[in-house]
A and B are shown apart, each in its own frame.
Chain A
């Protein structure tokens, strides 16, 4: 009942004309970013953070959140029309979505994706509303040792699940943790690894790094990409046929559940829920052999799952202050820039922000449905803009944005340097998500570990003797060791 009351309060905040406008602008920008191949949601939110500076915290965060899930929607359009996912979570949509487009059925593919996303997003928002308050209260039981262990789990999942090579992922995680050590000692304030360079006293800025790795890096890479072939198709009939509705309903339901629950676990990332949803759909289907030839449930389920995931992933961010996904890490950076610390106390101190955001998520889903269904043709037109006109503008925007963070040229330098690094890492196929998450979680981890040790008087056993913490550490060990054990097993088998 308490949640309902807060929710109504949240709606009062979210429906303020200015906040509606911010959410709308965010949805449009987000869809735009999702449509432009090469610019994912993480890059988009990072690039657009400076735009939200002048807004009040609620408006700014509502807009960024709208960009985030707008991009989730937008990514689908390119997957279906050009077989290039606009963002990673739409990769699997290419399989059946592009096939449908080739058969002249791009309309229903995009239609069901928008409808599924809407339903998944809405249900996940409702679930978020129900679970977040009890979870925020439960989170009070999370002391520094539990927080440390949970962060270890999150980083292990990101490391263990991203990319093909565990070694590369580990290197990237450690790289991020090392970057996180630069700057002031979080307890005593002594400068570390700063080499006497004053801007480094405050550490390497998270936002310029993300803008570089994701934004500039992706733009550099896109310059090599060939001009895309857009499937010319009439987008008149967007609604699926009657028999397609029947299969889609189940697919959307399953996608919602899978997405939301995987979203709650920090570190899973947005890709796995979509793959899992697709796999489940194939399992339960009566005609699994047809998957990949343009079946509608192969679009409906993963697309639902990715939006449901986007909302579910808000749970650990809002209740524990732990972002499970690079885009959410950017969103967390935005909270901090606006002077708000996500975590259980935010629910108590700024219920207007938390519930305003949650309510605006539901409103945003409606906006996106309206924006996507009739305007899908317009978005598709954008795909025909040539990169050479588009990207110099985006690059300029990035540079201005990085400078405006602290009026510091140093930040611009950091962004450019990480842009080049991002390009190299992409070429090497080394995952970027672990670095980004380690950079934002590193200082939290260090602080939690040091506080734990202060609590125990320097005794490390505090991490293993507290039950929640012990369970979490065992889970982390399983995540990291499983691939290693499997690899060893395979080697032993060869000998």
Chain B
């Protein structure tokens, strides 16, 4: 106990002399914010919005670079091996990052603990969408029909082992149904297939279907959350409908490599939190159909590891089959 105290004293002293240059003055040079998806996608848009606001407060440019590839894995591999000096940060998406680490098929070379969550920006719950003329008016209709013909109803899933499929697994388990899963590469082709009647329902998030819903092209049966979303105030949640274990979302945030010194982390918490609380940030994200959810530091770290547990359960579930 005493030893640790001495060590921390020494550390504090050293930081005071040597480190003052890089902690107290941080940042003294531009910060890179890596987005592991292509430019123009919703992750990219979100990162650019917050970077533009935060750089005014932090006094150094925040440069957004895209390191797309392998469903985010290329960028996260890069993030995990960067120097933890606060000058290289990256966007993370949950559970995508976690399933990439957990699924042995993906052969990821980094671990979940190599990346430290800093702040979350958006929490985008999974929904079940259908065509407006669908015979299922409520979730109950769907469940009853699905029980009559297990494994027959084609259901679109946006992304293998991502939030939409985890939402499906939870729903299938809780309601005791089985659907025929059809995977799509992103929301646009999935919604095309739903409208073209190639699948009869679709698991996708609010940001995925908001513009389509506004245009009246789709309707939703439920949203997998505890509370209703302000985007669809009339849409009942899974919790309300009696399935409180069906909670799934795609969560987006900013993270850094493991080992960023505390003073720098604190500064980042403050800067990004202030930037995200601005009206400009809120409005611009809302227009893009992205539900803002700000979890800072510890709170986001906790959420990260809870999501890890959920992701592990379903990755193991798939591997067992």
Contact = CB atoms under 8 A, between A and B. Distances in A.
B59 interface: no
B198 A143 contact: yes
A144 B193 contact: yes
A226 interface: no
Interface centre among B40, B154, B191 (most CB of A within 10 A): B40
A450 B103 CA distance: 20
A345 B181 contact: no
B73 interface: yes
A190 interface: yes
Interface string B93-114: 0000000100101110000000
A462 to B, nearest CB: 10
Nearest to B37: A339
Interface string A174-192: 0000000001111111110
B64 to A, nearest CB: 13
B69 interface: yes
Contact of A339 (B40, B71, B195): B40
Most buried by B among A186, A201, A450: A201
Q: Label chain A's interface by main secondary structure.
A: mixed
Contacts of A190: 105-107
Contact of B183 (A143, A339, A341, A454): A454
A340 B151 CA distance: 34
A390 interface: no
A343 interface: yes
Contacts of B38: 336-337, 339
Contacts of B188: 341, 343, 345, 349
A454 B180 contact: yes
A341 B199 CA distance: 20
B82 interface: no
Contact of A189 (B40, B160, B180, B184): B160
Contacts of B105: 185, 188-190
Given A186-B185, A189-B106, A349-B188, A140 B40 contact: no
Given A201-B70, A201-B74, A338-B39, A451 B196 contact: no
A161 B146 CA distance: 48
B73 A201 contact: yes
Interface string A437-480: 00000000001001100110100000000000000000000000
Given A201-B73, A339-B44, A140 B180 contact: no
A140 B195 contact: yes
A143 B193 contact: yes
B40 A340 contact: yes
A457 B181 contact: no
B134 interface: no
B44 A189 contact: no
Contacts of A451: 182-184, 193
Nearest to B69: A202
Nearest to B109: A198
A178 B165 CA distance: 30
Interface string B40-55: 1100100000000000
Contact of B103 (A189, A336, A343, A348): A189
Interface in A177-215: 183-191, 198, 201-202
B160 A188 contact: yes
A104 interface: no
Contacts of A381: none
B138 interface: no
B245 interface: no
B211 interface: yes
Contact of A454 (B69, B181, B192, B211): B181
A201 B77 CA distance: 12
B182 to A, nearest CB: 4
Majority secondary structure, B binding face = mixed
Contact of B70 (A142, A189, A447): A189
A49 B41 CA distance: 20
Contacts of B40: 57, 338-340
Of B77, B180, B188, most A-chain CB atoms within 10 Å: B188
Interface string B209-253: 001000100000000000000000000000000000000000000
A116 interface: no
A141 B196 contact: yes
A409 to B, nearest CB: 15
Given A198-B77, A343-B188, A345-B192, A189 B183 contact: no
A343 B195 CA distance: 14
A344 interface: yes
A142 B211 contact: no
A343 B70 contact: no
Given A190-B106, A454-B181, A143 B191 contact: no
Contacts of B77: 198
Contacts of B68: 202
A191 B77 CA distance: 14
Interface string B159-196: 01100000000000000000011111110110111011
A184 B70 contact: yes
Nearest to A183: B70
Contacts of B195: 140
Contacts of B100: 189
Contacts of B74: 198, 201-202
A183 B68 CA distance: 13
Nearest to B40: A339
A271 to B, nearest CB: 32
Nearest to B77: A198
Contacts of B106: 189-191
Contacts of A57: 40
Pairs of residues from A and B, 10 with the lowest C-beta to C-beta distance, nearest first: A339-B40, A143-B198, A202-B69, A190-B105, A454-B182, A140-B196, A201-B70, A345-B188, A187-B183, A184-B70
19 contacts: A140-B195, A143-B193, A184-B71, A188-B103, A188-B105, A189-B106, A190-B106, A202-B74, A337-B39, A339-B40, A341-B188, A348-B215, A349-B188, A451-B193, A454-B180, A454-B182, A454-B183, A455-B180, A457-B151
Interface of B: 38-41, 44, 68-71, 73-74, 77, 100, 103, 105-107, 151, 154, 160-161, 180-186, 188-189, 191-193, 195-199, 211, 215
Given A198-B74, A339-B39, 6 more contacts: A140-B192, A189-B70, A202-B69, A343-B188, A454-B181, A454-B183
